[in-house]
Amino acid sequence: MLKILHVCSGKGLGGTRSVFIAYQKLFEKLGIDSTPVIRRNAQIKNELISSSLQKLEEISYTRRLPIKWQKVSKAMKNLAHTQDLIWVHKPIDARIWRSLSPEAKIVMVVHGFQNTNLGCANYLIAVSQPVFDHLQKKGLDNVFLINNFLSMPISQHEISWNKRITISSFGFFRRKKGFTDFIRALRILKKTISPDKYSVNIYGNGRLEIILKAMKLLLNIKNLQINNWTTDVKTCLKNTDILVIPSRSESFSMMTIEGMSQGCLVVATKCKGPEFIIANEVNGILIEKQNPQIMADTLKRIIESPELFTKIRESGRRMLKNKFNINNSKQSLNNVLGNILYV
């Protein structure tokens, strides 16, 4: 039986961790003996335990190297030497495990347009066509494409609109996620449509949290709540009418397909990743990035006539049954493993 050491050292939740869980479920569906390795006390642990996982390795990390390096590295080396492949999701993990096991076959899932530590992996898997094109342009060998896929079930609940439209957005509070653009759009929106007609929730954490909360106060946006990242994303999405992806750059955007799976109308910026998923005005809405005025105008149009966009919500959910689901990814992964192991 194929044995894979499946590694993700991130501490929090978010897109990379969602993909990690999706791959873990896919390995199990294919009957692969996969041992997940996570950072000690990582928030992702509860999701792995709830999936009836029998084995789980936890390692103490700093951002650079594991703590108590000699003691920890010995345990890590023993893990590495008993596996056929080491499957990582972060460039730093590729570097660490390459130093521990120079002869290992390392597969890195490339989640963005980064250039660091790519040479530490034997094989690279792009999460979307834009990332694949980026890696190809760099002239790298052994590059494969497996589009990110959904791990949570597609909801079958009836799509309806809340009496007070609910708008949500999720992500790490950093510049590239575009939350400052989103809040500027909300300032414009409140001047043209009554805030009583809609409520807004932003879920996440990060270094820009204090800036976002200051903007909320200074711009007097009373119907906006800025919340810590939730461990129950599915329930929050089920209660969301409009999911906004205001990013300035996305390699894929897991939140786009997760939102569609729960019946949200997804409004996303043209920031590469969502453009690969959304057909404008068919299964979602695409708008110009870093343009609060256009974002406000789009939200106003939806809030004033939500029923006009119900078919788009339904189309988005329906599309996921034929694309970006875990069953469709089985063949893609089998093809990649065939190339890695037998060629």
Q: What is the pLDDT of residue 316?
A: 95
The number of angstroms, rounded, from the C-alpha of 18 to the middle of its chain's C-alpha atoms is 6
Calpha distance 94→255 (Å, rounded): 25
The number of angstroms, rounded, from the C-alpha of 311 to the middle of its chain's C-alpha atoms is 25
Backbone region of residue 267 per phi and psi (left: phi > 0; alpha: psi in -120 to 50; beta: other values): beta
Query: Alpha-carbon torsion 295, 300, 301, 305, what sign?
Result: positive
What residues contact 3, with CB distance under 8 A and at least 6 apart? 32, 33, 34, 35, 82, 83, 84, 85
Q: What is the pLDDT of residue 153?
A: 85
Q: What is the pLDDT of residue 185?
A: 98
Q: What is the pLDDT of residue 69?
A: 46
Q: What is the pLDDT of residue 72?
A: 58
The helix/strand count (H/E) of the chain reads as 13, 13
Indicate yes or no: pTM above 0.75.
Answer: yes
- For the record, the structure tokens of 32 come out as 């692969």
Instruction: Provide the CATH topology of domain 3-149+325-342.
Output: Rossmann fold (3.40.50)
Q: What is the pLDDT of residue 68?
A: 47
Calpha distance 22→24 (Å, rounded): 5
Residues of the chain short of pLDDT 70, as ranges, are 12-13, 46-54, 60-75, 342-343
Q: Which residues pair with 87 in a beta bridge?
A: 6, 107
pLDDT digits over 245-285, tens only? 999 999 999 999 999 999 999 999 999 999 999 999 999 99
| Domain range annotation of the chain | 3-149+325-342, 165-322
Q: How far is CA 331 from CA 25, 278, 336, in A?
A: 14, 23, 9
Chain-wide mean pLDDT for the chain?
89
Matching CATH number, 165-322, of 3.30.9.10, 3.40.50.2000, 3.50.50.60, 3.40.50.620: 3.40.50.2000
